Every structure is written in C-alpha cells, then in structure tokens.
A and B are shown apart, each in its own frame.
Chain A
Amino acid sequence: MPTDNTDVLQGTLDMLILKALSLEPMHGWGISQRIQQISRDVLQINQGSLYPALHRLERRAWIEADWGTSENNRRAKYYQLTSLGKKQLAEERASWQRFTLAVERVLQTT
C-alpha cells in the first residue's frame, strides 16, 4: 500500500467526482480510475467510498444516472453532470482556490 497517499475528505471527494464527470459521463469504476490517473496515484481513495458519495450527489441532483452498456458490453450505471452540478463544481472550485490561496499565504508568512 502506498504510504504517501492523502486522505480524501468527503467534501473534496464530492468535488473530485464532479470534476471527473465534467469531461464526460462515466461509470463508477471509470471515475475512480480517472481520479487516480490524473492525480498520478497520489489521491488514493477507498474505491467503495465512491458509491455513497455518488448516491448522495444524485440525491442532490448535481449528477444524474442512467443505465447503459460498457466497453465490454456489460450493463453499467453511467453518471453525468446536471446543470445544477456544473454550478456546484464552479462554486466548489472557487472556494477551494480561495482556501488553498489562504493556506499558501499563511505558510509563506511564517
């Protein structure tokens, strides 16, 4: 098990999912692959914890789900971003940037 992974806080996980889905509709496994690829395996999430998050986001109507067919011809549940979700992503991204900027400044001044 890699030791330099980062615990992904729940709110951050939500944002990562929304970001992953902003490119194209995907199924759950695809989302986990995408997050690991892009973060170059730094962000190692417990794959199962993706699903409660997905169902929660669906409940909030930030994403919506439809059953489709996967690359290897199996029934899979595909999630895609709703307009509400896009707005949410933009907001979370903005506040994330504000947060990291603030932390950065604090770290630089001390």
Chain B
Amino acid sequence: MDALHLLARRARTFLRPLVSRRRAEADLDEEMRFHLDAEIAERVRRGMTPDAARTSALRDFGGVSRFKEECRDAWGTRMMDELSRDARYGFRALWRAPAFTAVAVLTIALGVGAATTIYSVVQSVLRPLPFHDPASLVAVVTTYRGKDDAASALDFVDWRRESKTLAGMAAIATDAMTLTGSGEPERLYAATVSASLLSMLRVRPIAGRVFRTGEDSVGAAPVVILGEAVWRRRFSSDPGVVGQSVNLGGEPYTVIGVVPTRLTYPAAAEIYVPLVFPTGDLDEGNRGARYYDVVARLAPGATIEQARAEMRGITARLASAHPRADEGVSVRVAPLLDETVGMFRRPLLILLGAAAVLLLIACANVANLLLVRAAGRDGELAVRTALGAGRARLVRQLATEALVPFLVGGALGTAAATLGTRWFATAASDTVPRLTDAGVDGTALVFALVATLTTGVVFGVVPALRFARLGVSGTLRGAGRSSQGSIGRRRARTAIVGSEVALAVMLLVVAGLVVRSFQHLMAVDPGFRREGVVTFRLDLPSTRYGDAAKLRAFTAQLDDRVRALPGVTASGRILRAPLSEYNFNVGFSVDRWQEETGTRRPAVQVRIASPGYFEAMRIGLVRGRTFTAHDDATAPQVVVINQAMARAHFSGETPLGRRVWLGWEDEGVRRGGEIIGVVDDVRQFGLDRPSAPEMYLPYDQTPVGPMTVVARTTASPDVVFAAARAAVRELDPDLPLFELGTLQERFDKSAARPRLYMTLLATFAGVAVLLAAIGLYGVVSYSVRQQTREIGIRLALGATRADVAGAVVGQSLTVTVVGAALGLAGALAVSRLLQALLFGVSPTDVWTYVAVVGLIALVGVIASWVPARRATLVDPAMALRGD
C-alpha cells in the first residue's frame, strides 16, 4: 500500500467517529451483535438450548456497555464529548449570570481589541518595504558634524562612480509640477529620480516601462512615469496613455509607463521624472549645495558594514580633496526601512506596550471576577466530588469554563480590532505613514489568538485550578467560612488588584507626561497669530515667467487681487510659510563677502517676503522696520533678520546697519544687503523645533516662482478660496492654487502626531484606571460582605460607624498605596524610554508623579466609598444572629 493511501486510511479511521458519531455507534452495535449471534449459533450447534446459549454467551461476552465505552475511549471521542459538554456548560453558566458575563467578556474584548489594533498598526508601519529583497535597500545619508544633511550632486556622482559595495545608487529630489490640458490645471508631487531608481527597486510597471539608463542625462528627451492614482484620475486608467505626450509645467513630456501607487516611496510621489542635474550643480564650486536623498541596493555578497566602511572611506577622501565644501562632512549608511519609518518605531512600540499593559489589567480584572465566582462554587464542587466525579474530570471542566469568557471576549476584541485598525488608519493617515492598507492580517490574527489563549490560561485556568477546593471534606461539613481555599483566594485577589493599580499607575505616569508635553507644545508661541488667516500656494512656471520683470508684474497684480478678496484686512506673500519644514539653508558672511574661509561658513535659513507679509502674520517687529513697497529692484538691497540670528551672530551689538552677504548669486548680483530690521522668531520646522537663524529678503529684489499667499480675513475660508481661484484664473488660467488651508489647520497638523499619541495614551490610561477602580471596588465590597459578622461584633463591642468605614477605606488605601509605589518604581524604570514622546517635560517630572499619586489615592477612596457605607449599615444583631 502506498504511503498516500495509508495516510488517507488512517485519517478516515481517526476522523470517522468524530465526524459521524451516529454512524460509528451503529457500526459498533452491529459488530457486537454479529459476534453474539455467531456465538449463540455456535453454542446451539453444540447442543445447548437457544435460551441457555443466549444467557451463557452474554455472560461470557462481559458488559456490553462497558466495552462500548472502552471502544469510544479508543476512538478518542470521549474527550471531545466532554470538552464540548464543558464548553456548553460554561456558556450556560455565563448565560445565567449576564452581568458578570457582560463585564468579563467586554473587558477582555477591550483589552484584546486595543492590543490587536495597535499591533496591526505597528505591523503595517514597520513591515518590510514593498520591493524585491527589501532588506538589501539602504539610504546613504550625508552628515555634517554629526548631523544629517542632504547630499550634493557632485558627492553623489563621485560616490556612484567609486562604490563597489552599492549597486544602482540613485539620487532623489521631490518637486511639484503642474499638469495642464484635459481639465483643471493640477499640482502634482513629482519625484525627480535617477534613471536607475525604479529598476534598482525592481518596480514592475502596470503599463509601459520604467526609466532606462541615460534618460536622466542632459539633453535626453523629457519623459514621465505616472503613478497609478493620477493615471486613474486624469487618464481614466487608459493604458493607451503610454507613448502620448502630457504637459507638465508648460513643457511636453512623453509618458513611458505607469507604476502602482503602493510604492509609497519616495513618500507621496504622484509622478516620476528623471533627475537631470542642473548644469550648475556639477560645477566644483557647488559641491557644498546639498539637496538630494540617496538610496542604493547592497551589491550581491556585500554587507551593510562593508558598505559603511567603503562609503566612509570615499567620503573622507572627498573631504580632504575638497576641504572648502566637504570639511566636516561624513556619511552614514542605514537600512532604508529605518530611514523611512525609524522615527515611528519608538512611539509605536510605546503605544503597543501601553496596549499590552491595558490588556494585562483587563485580564487581571476578569481573573478577579472569576475568583469571586469560584468562591460561590466550592459547595457545588464538593457535592459533585462526593457523587463520584473524578478529579481530572472536574479540573477539565473548571479549565474549560474559565477559558470560555476569554475566548468569547478575544473573538469580540479581534472583530473590534478590524474596526479599530480602520479607524486608526483614517485618523492618522496624515501623521503616520504606510497605513493605507493597514488591517488585521494573518499575523495579527495569530497575535490575537496567542494573546487570548495565553491570558486565558494565565488569568483564567491557573487561578481556577489553583484555588479550586477539590475535596469533599470541609466544605460539605459547612465549616468553610475561612478555610484554606478562601484565604488563598482573598490573598490572590488582593495581589491581583495591587498589580492592577501598579500597572494603571505606570500608564497614568506615561499619559501624564505626554499630556503635559502636549500642553507645553500648545503653549509654544509660534511667533505669529494664527487665527483668521488663510494660505494657499502658487508656483509660477519658469517657462512663462522666466525673468524677474514678469514675476514682479504678475505678483503686483496678484497682490491687488488678494487685497480685494472677501473680508481681507492684511495680506502678503512668503517663500515659505511657517511650520512647512521648508529648508533653504544658505551660507553667509557679515560685512563683506569672503570667497575663501578656512571652515564652512555659518548658514542661515533664507525666506523671501513681500512687504505685507509681517503685518498679515502679525510677526512682532523688535527693532528697525520691515519691508515697504520702496524696497524694490532699483533700491539698495536690504534684509530683515530674526532674533535667533541677531543673538547668534550679533550678540551684544546692534545688527541694524550691518551688511550680510549670502552664498547665492543671481545674474551677477550677490544676494544680501543691509539689515534694516529684526523680527520675532517664527517656528519654521514645527512647534517642537527651536527657531534657526533666519533672514528675510524682499520679494521685488529677489523674485522667485514659488510662493505662499497669506491673507488675514474675516470671511469664511471657503468663500475666500473660491474668490481667490476665480481671481487667479483671470490672471492666468493655467496656474493652479494648491495647499489651500488656514494657518490654524497648519498649526493643528503640526501638532497632529503628538496629539494622536497623547489621545491614545490618555485613553488607555483612563480605561486602565477605570478597570483598576472596578477591581478595587470588587475586592473591598466582597471582603465587607465576608466580614459582616466580624463588623457586627466590632459594632456590638462599641466601635463607631466611622471606625468601621475608616477600616474599609483604609484597607482599600493600603492596596492602592502599595500598588502605586510599585507602579511609580516601574514608571521611573521605563520613563527613560519615553524621551522620544516628550517635549519640555523631564521623564522624571515630579509634578506628574505627584498628580498621579493624588489621583490614584482619590480613586482608592472612591472605590471603597460604597462598600464602606454598606459596612456602616451592618446591623450588629442581624450579623451575629446570621448563622
């Protein structure tokens, strides 16, 4: 017989009795009946009377039902029968106590749901990148004096030429391009990438092809690859678009392919165009101009350590060959995944830890409830033991019953987690990357199952068995008031509640610190008044606005139109608005431009502002003046600086009247000029990032294509936007407005991530405290009920009601204080890990810890209030007569 046949046969032998019980029973009946009939016939043949033959044959066969039962044992169905009976019994027991069941099941569902949701999110964010062999993808990051910086075109070209350990090295810059023709002009996020990028990532196009070598060299025909979303939206998913020409920023590009949106790298890219280095970038004088991100794949057989060593060596050689540009510059090679989502790892793992703690508290609460119930069943168990139930049988029943609420709760929680994950993905889509297809997948299901079973065994089965009193003696004799089992149980319950308090305190401290951080963040003065200001962006394409005169002519008209928009009281333009994380870092020198400096010159963030900007934003003027309409192309060059620059470079002296010059030449004119004013610092990079030294240039002296319009208005934003669109369309029908919004939204978005973390952690902590309070209440009120007699005696012996109430509250407070002390110690131990989530608050912030202790003590008092009142109402006479 071949192996497969054998296997099938064995499976049938095994499964048949399980699948078709009735059939197996019938077969067994028939088999035994055949035996008896044959035996009787044989005995009759040997001369016995039929009656005698039947009697003796039955006697010699033995107990039919006993042997049938043994056959069933052999099938292995008996255990299944009992399990399902126990489970049914468990369900029925749950059904009979709906309040208990609802609390237990919902508590478990809450814990499992929260943990599974966060697990799914973590899983989705930190999963490998969606490319072939993602582990071999690395980011090559330039560092300057230990801080991350972008790479320059020349460094990149040299790296790519010399590196042996990295393959397909590609540079990336992000840009925005305006798509015109066929409908409204639309602003698209473009990834400008080396031709090697997509083939190095092994991206498989939906239609057409990816870039070929050489398509990123100077003079190559302009080509574009569409992202799937744009392709569907603007080209109605027509594969025929490949080969056609589209208009981007006023120039024709040939579409060569369509790639899936799922790429999510580089983040948010909607279209891809080849990165052709502007000629200036490759002049040796511009080795210090750093704008590019660089990625690569480890060459076959190369390790990341080898790549690190090699790249450091190459960069060190470049630094010594070009000290003026590359002095202090080094390089860091890191897994691409870490570079993309590394900053989310710590906060997400903290959230996961918090969710796990919440799950523990939830389970502890249910364990507590089960112990109370178990106390009520000692009698029942004793009766069953006396009636002959086997110990193993009872153990199995107790275990199954304890597991049932965990399993039901776990299933409910997992279902809730699918909703929770969707909610999170929607709520956090702007703040956390890679959530678009987050869901409860296979690994998350395994996580939920393991979490449910583990907690079920640890918190359900183990206590159920540990404290079950599987003996006849004692209980049945009725002496079991303070017997061994119930003392053990009470101790266990106290310990469990103490641990709950400790865990809740840990969560409270974490949440408290994060809430205080958020308060600090919200209290940050961003340097401008955000209420009632709308903003939108424009980008004048160089194809139609190629020279300064055209830019000035357009913006003059634009300013008039914006002033006339509904409700506008002040308006201006800026490159770029605060909180935009826009980095325009340029080296400068004071008084006169020095071509040669031994070290890298100090750098400053450059902003280009129209005269109305400071007033529209209400940015405070510290001294001097801001720009006026007279600071135009014909007037002497002037600049305004912020206080951070005044402090950093003009400490103790007035900067007014001094001249600063930038490493930025335009048509033979060096940018910079006389400092005419100092303004307040503005948070450019985020509320939590200090202001960098900053220099404003007047727009008319340095006109550029991209700009953000800001307008302070009393009208509603939508009205203003509609009017603005119409006004701009009249000036230039092919010019799209984009990133329309209010400063308030910008401000909120800047705080969205800490707000999300805070909301979740505070919710977890709140639920944890609630659960701990319920646990405390349960333990205290149960012990009051148990001690009714003792309380009655004390009252009879002259204790006052206040004494009795005090004793009850004191008992609760003792548990609370011990738990809180442990929790504080735990919080102190883990607080160091929280640094990533904190702003302006030390992880050991005394006030937070004090507030948490106060809060938990209050919870301890409140939770024992009702039981304490009940204790004072004990009637001594009744209690003593009680039994």
Contact = CB atoms under 8 A, between A and B. Distances in A.
A64 B74 contact: no
Contact of B63 (A33, A48, A56, A76): A48
Contact of B34 (A46, A55, A61, A76): A76
A57 to B, nearest CB: 9
Interface string B354-392: 000000000000000000000000000000000000000
A52 B62 contact: no
Interface in B26-66: 27-28, 30-32, 34-35, 37-39, 41-42, 60-64, 66
A53 to B, nearest CB: 8
Nearest to A64: B9
Contacts of A47: 35, 39, 60-62
Contacts of B685: none
Nearest to B32: A51
Interface string A64-99: 100100101011110000110000000000000000
A59 B31 contact: no
B428 to A, nearest CB: 54
Nearest to A44: B60
Nearest to B75: A55
B14 interface: yes
Contacts, number: 77
Contacts of B554: none
A56 B74 contact: yes
Contacts of A77: 27, 30-31, 34
A58 interface: yes
B71 interface: yes
B132 interface: no
Contacts of A48: 32, 61-64, 66-67
Contacts of B14: 59
A9 to B, nearest CB: 16
Contacts of B75: 55, 59
Interface residues of B, number: 32
Contact of B61 (A46, A58, A70): A46
B170 to A, nearest CB: 61
Contact of A51 (B37, B39, B71): B71
Contacts of B28: 51
Contacts of B61: 46-48
Contacts of B64: 48
Nearest to B42: A33
Nearest to B71: A55
A47 B1 CA distance: 31
Contact of A49 (B9, B13, B38, B67): B67
Closest CB pairs A-B (n = 5): A52-B70, A48-B62, A55-B74, A48-B67, A29-B38
17 contacts: A27-B35, A29-B39, A33-B42, A48-B32, A48-B62, A48-B66, A51-B31, A52-B70, A55-B71, A58-B13, A59-B13, A59-B14, A59-B74, A74-B37, A76-B31, A76-B34, A82-B1
Interface of A: 27-29, 32-33, 46-49, 51-52, 55-56, 58-59, 61, 64, 67, 70, 72, 74-77, 82-83
Interface of B: 1, 6, 9-10, 13-14, 27-28, 30-32, 34-35, 37-39, 41-42, 60-64, 66-68, 70-71, 73-76
